[in-house]
Amino acid sequence: MFVSNRYSKELLNQINTHSNIVQIIEKAVKLQKNGRNYKGLCPFHNEKTPSFTVSDEKNMYYCFGCHAHGKAIDFYIQYYKLTFVQAVEKLAQELGIDTHQSEDPGLTLLENIKNWCQTQFKLNHKAKGYLHQRALHSDTIDKFSIGFMPTIPINRLCKILSCSINDLIHIGVINPDTQKNRFSNRVIFPIFNSLNQVIAFGGRTLQEDFQPKYINSPETKYFHKRQSIYGLNFIPQKKDLIVVEGYMDVIQLSNYGIHNAVAILGTSFTTEHLQKLIQVASKITLCFDGDGAGVRASLKAAKMCLPLLGPNCEINILNLPDQHDPDSFLSQYSKSAFIELIDNSDDVCNVIIKNLLSKRDMSRAIEKSRYRQELKDHTDQIKDLDFKKSMMNDGLEQLYQRKPVAKILTNIQTSWIDEIIAIIICNPTILKTIEDTQIKQLVSYSIEDKPVRLLQIIVKKVLDEHLDSYDKIIKHCRNQSTQKKLAFLFKRGIQITNEQQQLELVAGIEKIGRYYKTKKKEAIIALSKERKLSQKERDELIKLIEEINYT
């Protein structure tokens, strides 16, 4: 028998309704009567002019500066840094409400199905084989409660779960028109809300020729696609968030040790999603697939973000390299390469400015005028004065200082080491222009990072075997995934002059050198905490610090 101890919506509504929001907030914020509402300095961001409004009538608060908003439970979570459970229990205790007085039967049934599907997964070799093929670790499978829904008669399923067909229709498992189980013979991905309650399911068919491959539960009393965010319940400290397009991307990122990803579900990115994310994150990176649809979606999302820009949350946009999603990128490249893309992602204002510039011939006065008007139209949507002024200034500065610059080492579309590799495989003879001492140092560095190791191997092969073309390089490559990677880089090509290529190559070698020396310095410092350093080690540490800081 499966038991659910989750809070019902009725209970949460009861707590919020019976809480006096003005009295609760007055304990933390000095409020003054302002018409029908109360006003004060926002406790969630620094301000001199009050923009924090509390409505006794609506029993809620809202800040027009940072957009923090909510009811009593939300305030306890945000201001007192409590978990959801702690906030609910504290408020319920103060109000004399029993938090265990009732359970929602639909939520209990959804929880029961999740548990049963997890059991069925362990018994099904094909389902386990599929996830093994996707290289998912067992702890990742357990973390996301991944299961399997076998094909069995509906009456038998109802008997196992102690429910009726109508109960299963009510929660979206049974299609009311066909009276069939939507999720039969599918790997099951439970979808949770922020309270860690199961509210819906995603399913992936095990029949390769069957469409659609992925499905989600329909809209129900519990599941609303425009508001639901997959994975938010798995992130204990919601500081920086990566927003991806599907739950399999979230799972794969977690599998690689990146645990701060969330996903939207079966719909486009909405204002509701964004407002919810801003409440729980200090930085959001919207990560889109590297296809035409992903590029269009990223621009649409960037424009949607403009009215919500403010001091409490940084919002960036990342488009992955062409034809890649997070799963395929991580499989072909590495965790460090993905993190580098995230770290170098563009802010939303810059994404829009670049798009506006790319559409026009700025040698014509009329196009410059139209660009300035479009720029103003976009900045007018921004409520925050600092962001508004900054975007306008940046946009005009890029207009009048625009040059055809190719700066590879800050290209957000791919890892900078991959760009160095691309230069070499597209133009192998360029290595002859680099000083021998620099090449020898590059090859000699003992670095575990896979992209760097690949670069070292290619450089050594090109020089030792006198390889002067891409075709000759690829013939010496035995690893299939490496062949695909090199083919991808070669096909994309290099859009800069030989002189620029040489500058980038030298800069890349120097950057790797600094990385190697920094790691070596950190290792010696760590050693000094365990024992006294020898004179040789002390001399080496001083030398490394000088080389890192002054060369």
Q: Which residues of 167-188 are buried (b: 16+ CB within 10 A; e: fewer)?
A: bbebbbbbeeeeeebbbebbbb
Residue 65 has pLDDT above 70, yes or no: yes
pLDDT tens profile 445-483: 887 777 888 888 898 888 888 888 888 888 888 777 788
pLDDT tens profile 219-248: 998 998 888 899 988 886 557 899 998 899
pLDDT tens profile 200-213: 999 999 988 888 89
Range of the domain at 152: 105-216
**Residues facing residue 346 across a β-bridge:** 317
- Give the mean model confidence (pLDDT) for residues 409-414: 35
Looking at residue 5, its pLDDT comes to: 43
Amino acid 103 reads E
Residue 408 has pLDDT above 60, yes or no: no
Same domain, residue pair 392 and 261: yes
Residue percentage of the chain with pLDDT more than 70:
92
How far is residue 190's CA from residue 145's CA, in Å, rounded to a whole number?
A: 7
Looking at residue 297, its pLDDT comes to: 87
415 or 234: which leads in pLDDT: 234
The pLDDT confidence band at residue 260, using thresholds 50, 70 and 90, is very high
Same domain, residue pair 307 and 385: yes
3-state SS string over 441-497?
HHHHCCCCCHHHHHHHHHHHHHHHCCCCCHHHHHHCCCCHHHHHHHHHHHHHCCCCC
**End position of a domain, from candidates 95, 119, 139:** 95
Same domain, residue pair 424 and 493: yes
Residue 179 has pLDDT above 90, yes or no: yes
Same domain, residue pair 324 and 391: yes
pTM of the model: 0.60
Same domain, residue pair 543 and 449: yes
Q: In total, how many domains does the chain have?
A: 4
List Cα–Cα distances, 67 to 268, 311, 432, in angstroms: 22, 10, 57
Same domain, residue pair 249 and 355: yes
> What CATH number does residue 276 fall under?
3.40.1360.10
> What CATH number does residue 426 fall under?
1.10.860.10
Same domain, residue pair 121 and 169: yes
Looking at residue 266, its pLDDT comes to: 67
Q: How big is the chain, counted in residues? A: 551
**End position of a domain, from candidates 216, 232, 260:** 216
Same domain, residue pair 385 and 451: no
Same domain, residue pair 119 and 208: yes
How far is residue 200's CA from residue 211's CA, in Å, rounded to a whole number?
A: 20
Has residue 493 been placed in a domain?
A: yes
Query: pLDDT averaged over the chain?
Result: 85
Has residue 227 been placed in a domain?
A: no
116 or 236: which leads in pLDDT: 116
